[in-house]
Amino acid sequence: MDLIVARNREDLVKARAGGEVALVPTMGALHEGHRSLIRQARVRANHVVVSIFVNPLQFTPNEDFSRYPRTFDADLDVCREEGVDVVFHPAVEDMYAPDRQVSVSAGEMGRIVEGAFRPGHFDGVLTVVLKLFNLVQPDLAFFGQKDAQQLAVIRRMVTDLNLPIEIVGVPTVREPDGLALSSRNRFLSAQDRKVALALSRALRAGAAELTPAGIHATARAVLDAAGPELEVDYLTLVEPATFAEVTESYAGPAVLAVAATIGGTRLIDNVILTLTPS
């Protein structure tokens, strides 16, 4: 079956088929990380829908919405190669009425860690994801672990709003040198990219420690050694479901998360680890 490109609700209705439907929401500029999501979706569902929509609501005023890479033709090639059934590619005016008033709030989870540096970002994420869920009506939806806080707030929305959708987190895909794949990596110069490797090095070094204090101190030392070209927003160890900071006595799964700007490009990364009682 040929790939179907749907531009609006009516196109989606025409493209709808029986069996389990998996949704892979993206903003385009697809890379190997997105391919990993699509492949996992293909294993789990009869039909795979990939949405490609650069969502203006999740960009804060100091972020350049127009700068985000848009590579639709290349994205379609990726989707064809990966056996996607439908690409949903709406215009902004098809997603948001000019007099829009109702949106989704991420609550306190949306105001901490990443949300403290990008006010309103997670409200915009949840609003567009809920709209995509309503339009596509998937049984499963696939998101990358690289955006760990996004994954957490989406899971909370599904729980709190009783949405009949399984949220599947997919491990972060990395370059051979450890840099997490991101659509924004293309903005890094060769020198910036070398500096950016401090993020994954810091996470690996921190994960080798045994206590929250040791994890944080070791990872921070690696970031500090990268020099002033690496502008760190945060380095934090949090519970994966709530993104609340862990205490020194905490035991269980945790996320060590970092965000930093290198040469004007802001990157995030994280690693999942398990803390045991001391």
Q: Which residues are catalytic?
A: 34
Picking from 194, 20, 14, the residue whose alpha carbon sits closest to that of residue 88 is 14
Residue 97 annotated as lining a ligand binding site: no
Is 146 annotated in a binding site? The answer is yes
Residue 58 counted as an annotated binding residue: yes
131: amino acid identity, one letter: K
Tell me the C-alpha distance between 55 and 50, whole Å: 14
Q: Is 7 annotated as a binding residue?
A: no
Residue type at 134? N
Amino acid at 56: P
Q: Are 243 and 99 in contact (CB under 8 A)?
A: no
The residues facing 141 across adjacent strands are 23, 167
Which candidate, 274, 278, 269, 266, places its Cα nearest to that of 59? Answer: 266
The encoded tokens of residue 54 equal 């650069």
Q: Is 161 annotated as a binding residue?
A: no
Where b means 16+ CB within 10 Å and e means fewer, 51-72 reads bbbbbebbbeeeeeeeebeebe
Q: How many CB atoms lie within 10 A of CB 234?
A: 14
Torsion angle of the four alpha carbons 116, 124, 5, 18, in this order, in degrees rounded to the nearest 10: 100
Strand-pair category, 252-262 with 230-238 = antiparallel
182 is in an annotated binding site: yes
Is 184 part of any known ligand binding site? yes
Q: Please indicate if the annotation marks 183 as binding a ligand.
A: yes
Is 27 a known ligand-binding residue?
Answer: yes
How many whole angstroms separate alpha carbon 106 and alpha carbon 92? Answer: 22
**What distance in Å separates the CA atoms of residue 159 and residue 152, rounded to the nearest whole number?**
11
Q: Is 32 annotated as a binding residue?
A: yes
Q: Judge whether 181 is annotated as a binding position.
A: yes
147 is in an annotated binding site: yes
Return the axis-axis angle of helices 121-136 and 148-160, rounded to nearest 10°: 60
180 annotated to a ligand binding site: no
30 is in an annotated binding site: yes
Name the binding residues. 27-34, 58, 144-147, 150, 173, 181-184
Name the binding residues for ATP. 27-34, 144-147, 173, 181-184
Name the binding residues for beta-alanine. 58
Name the binding residues for (R)-pantoate. 58, 150
